[in-house]
Structure 1
Amino acid sequence: MNSRRSAPRVAIVTSICTLVIGAVGLFVMVFLNAFVLDEYDAYGEVPIPGSAGLELPQGEVTVSLHTMVTGSGSGLPVPPLRLHVSAPDGAADPVLTESIGGTTTVNNDARVRVWVMQVSTAGVYEMSVDGQVQGYINPR
């Protein structure tokens, strides 16, 4: 009769421990994703308007709009932007595909994917960006 009462207690204790471990794991995953694993500026940033040389790897590169925001909002509107990329000598120009993504905001720091670039050869690419960014705080 005693073993009948201990089985539900074991199940309850096990489920509570699983719930606590899951909640801690979720918190750690969100923290790591937002502050440690997020590499939105892995290859550098170019001020808008402005230009810079960035070392890019071969393969797919995400190009994002990065700015500061005040208050809270549902998304970051993407202004009309122009991106010109000059490949290094002997390399083909990268292929740009517009691909507007969702907005990520952490501590008033907002980013939204604008383009995906296919780079055929690793090297230093000259980037030039211009657009209507008068209402944005430190756009890059």
Structure 2
Amino acid sequence: MTVQEQYPARYYARYDHAATQPAPVTGWYDVWGMSDASSVPDAADLVALSAAQWSARTPTGLGVQNGQIVSYAPPAPTLAAQARSALVQAQAATWAKFGSLGKTVTDDWITYQQALSAIADGSNATATDLPSAPSS
């Protein structure tokens, strides 16, 4: 069977079928231009694209909803995810400011990291914003 028989459209987009829609496009395929399409998912698991859609594709900002390509903006990270990221940054800053110099970590930095940790692990489920980092 030829590639054109397996993939009647030349261009396709891949997305996670299990994701909430609109789901982001996770791959683009010009299957007729491939010398080996064995790594490409079945055509039934992809969204066929017109030449105009192929030409207008972008690395981000497009998704799939009900089998159609649509504009897509990823959801904002949750407060817990933001807290986890801020905690990693705070730990690095604490090491740079104190630990690497053999200094004692100040109470404001300890309190800040504890507050971030509580938001990140869900033990503070009432927080609506991240705490501010210490200025010192």
Structure richer in helix, relative to its length:
2
User: Is TM > 0.5 for Structure 1 vs Structure 2?
Assistant: no
Structure richer in strand, relative to its length:
1
Which structure is higher in RCO with an 8 Å CA cutoff and minimum separation 6?
Answer: 1
Could you state the TM-score of these two structures normalised by the residue count of structure 1?
0.22
Could you state the TM-score of these two structures normalised by the residue count of structure 2?
0.23
